Chains A and B, each alone.
Chain A
Amino acid sequence: MRTRPAARAGQYAALLAYLVFLAFPLVWLASTAFKPPTELAGLHPTWIPQDPTLANFRQAFDEQPLLRAALNSLLTASAAAVVAVAVATPMAYVMARHRGALVRAVTGWVVVSQAFPFVLLIIPLFLVLRNLRLIDSLPGLVLVHVVWALPFALWMLTGYVRAVPAELEEAAAVDGAGRLRTLVSVTAPLLAPGIAATALFAFVTAWNEFFFALVLLKTPEQQTLPVLLTRFIGAEGVADLGPLAAAAFLATLPSLLVFALIQRRITGSLLAGAVKG
């Protein structure tokens, strides 16, 4: 079906507006990160720093161990993404391919568990982790991130598995492939974009997570980037805006980078070439 030029222009305009809406915070953050204090306190803010400076970055690195915190964040977020996907994929397969009361109950529980607020969970979680001697340790935080990401990851992956036609697996079985071979050679490649999307979700969630990291990690050497960013904020919300913006800008980059690396896999057509013509 051909789209009329006017409709096409409208689509592009809407897309552009959406892009501007999404990009504005990041552009503004970047702009703020390069402004000197006097410019930050100007009555009429400017898009482009008039007198760009790296002083905010220098101050941020001088005042806080940003690299160490970034490494901690990277380790915990990557591990959480890998473990969450590894655990959720087989579970999602079972939930997608098998019907029954148990599967319905599990699905219901997954949906309900999303409604629990952080604050409700934190104290029992803290006590459990303390008994496991995992307080103030990155593996403890990874465990929490995995538990936190698992329901949604399961939900996402179940949808992706359902999108893979069962007929393909049946066809492979008819061709003589065993169960495992079918899963590895037929289902897994088609699930790859879904797995990548789920891993990205788990990574970004863990990378940005603040509250659990704040409560569970006490040793300065263990703390993650979001916790460190709060150090630029004082009593009554007074902020050291320049260094805060510089550190926050640097903190957004890894997420963007990971997304840039994975997005090709996500946007790749899900079932391209799955069925012979």
Chain B
Amino acid sequence: MTRTAPSRARVLVAALVLALLLAGCSSGGAREDGRITLRFQSLAWQQESVEATKDLVEEWNASHPEVRVEYVQGSWDSVHDQLLTSFEGGEAPDIVHDAADDLADFAYGGHLADLTELLPERLTSDIPPLAWESVTFGDGVYGVPFLQEPRVLIADAARLKESGVRVPTPARPWSWAEFREVTKELSGDGRYGVAWPLKEPVSATLNLSLSAGGRLFHRGADGKATVRFEEGDEVVPRTIHEQVNTDRSASPTTLGSGGSDTLPGLFAGKYAMVPLGFSYRQQIVQQAPEGFEWQVLPAPAGAAGLAQGVSPQTLSVAEDCPHKKEAVAFLDFLLQPRNMVRLALGDWMLPTGRRALADPALRTPEHGWATGTALAAHLRPAPARSVRGYPEWKDKVATPALQEYYSGAIGLGELRERLEKDGNLVLARYQR
């Protein structure tokens, strides 16, 4: 019997197995030549912010040969599940980029290091106490808040000018009542004064309600949180409800949309204003048709002025990290005022640091930067940040209740009853 040459299929399979084995041989080591290596998982995603972050890592590595930082690209999508699995498996990155409203479970679960004793005074004094509040759980500080974005009104400047309405400024914002009147004035002929993109109605409603003194979550002497829907909590939802269902000054079709979905309507003149996060300006610059004039306006103010809730982006250190001091030293470098400015510009957001906020690059009126920085002092930690059971309350109670209320299916009384009665039943399970 003569031996035949190996068939193509066999060669292909052998090559495949070999390639896999070779691919599997490369894995990141924790140390190289006795040097410390820290893995930094960044969630920067826009080209400018990725470049800025990578540049800063390179600068650090060039000036700190004994502590090498390895840049690992993460993504906002599914970051919670990915981090949870990594923490549980003891394979988490040393330095974790996330958002303040996602930290509670990791902090209470013992996965993040308490930075209270590790943070340099320069950093703690540069970032305002309210921002630190958003990363404080119990007695510990579990991250450094470094970027934040207020919700602003992106307006069709030509429409505003043409209508003759008073244009608000951070010094003289619209009240919620005035905002409602303006949107009425800007509506008609199939056009709307405003389009509310409320795919995520809960965070938008809760965060904007701070301006009217709404808190919704109240802590008793025993430290337990309960839901109470009071007068201050009614202002924002009622305004939106009336705009959609009574005044017809807000588009009913965008209530289930994300922010990006409303931009075509804004560019086409269908909506005069869209309430969006500050970073959406990047998309507007990129997508707006030539000649489209737009401007950034502060969100309406209420009894508590321009206050609104935000959930800053954060940098934390994993509890399992064996080199916490070095990790914090890297954070201190990354968040030097000039570096914070670079990161903020790259992400089209506001830095939390006072000195970075004072940088002229962020004070320019171009693209509404100056309006945004003027709002920075009014930003507060998102009200629901530290409430145990908030995610379930949000998904099972608040989201459907607010969606039904905004669409006109239920009234304010029923909204209150569901948020309080059903909501407190959910929260009680987490606070026994």
CB of B20 within 8 A of CB of A211, answer: no
Which residues of A are found within 8 Å of B267, using beta-carbon distances? 41-43
Binds A, one of B69-77, B118-126, B225-233, B300-308: B69-77
Please, how many angstroms separate the alpha-carbon atoms of A25 and B264 in the complex?
21
Contact of B258 among A214, A220, A231, A237 (CB under 8 A): A237
Which residues of A are found within 8 Å of B46, using beta-carbon distances? 234, 240
Contact of A211 among B78, B199, B258 (CB under 8 A): B78
Which residues of A are found within 8 Å of B200, using beta-carbon distances? 236
Please, how many angstroms separate the alpha-carbon atoms of A22 and B85 in the complex?
35
Closest to B286 in A: A37
Binds B, one of A136-144, A152-160, A168-176: A136-144
A-side interface size class: 35 or more
Binds B, one of A12-20, A72-80, A98-106: A72-80
Please, how many angstroms separate the alpha-carbon atoms of A238 and B43 in the complex?
13
Please, how many angstroms separate the alpha-carbon atoms of A122 and B78 in the complex?
14
Interface residues of B in 47-73 (CB under 8 A from A): 47, 50, 71-73
Closest to B349 in A: A235
User: Is B82 among interface residues, defined by CB-CB distance under 8 A?
Assistant: yes
CB of A232 within 8 A of CB of B45, answer: yes
User: Is B140 among interface residues, defined by CB-CB distance under 8 A?
Assistant: no
Given A126-B88, A130-B91; A230-B72 close (CB under 8 Å) = no
CB of B72 within 8 A of CB of A220, answer: yes
Known: A214-B81, A218-B28. 18 other contacts (CB 8 A): A42-B267, A72-B23, A75-B19, A79-B17, A122-B81, A135-B91, A137-B24, A139-B21, A210-B78, A215-B85, A222-B23, A231-B73, A231-B75, A233-B77, A235-B76, A235-B313, A237-B258, A238-B258
Closest 5 CB pairs of A and B: A41-B287, A43-B268, A230-B75, A137-B24, A126-B89
Question: B-side interface residues toward A, CB under 8 Å?
Answer: 13, 16-17, 19-21, 23-24, 26-28, 39, 43, 45-47, 50, 71-73, 75-78, 81-82, 85-86, 88-91, 93, 99, 199-200, 258-260, 263-265, 267-268, 270, 277, 279-280, 283, 286-290, 313
5 contacts between A and B (CB under 8 A): A82-B13, A130-B91, A140-B24, A219-B72, A235-B76
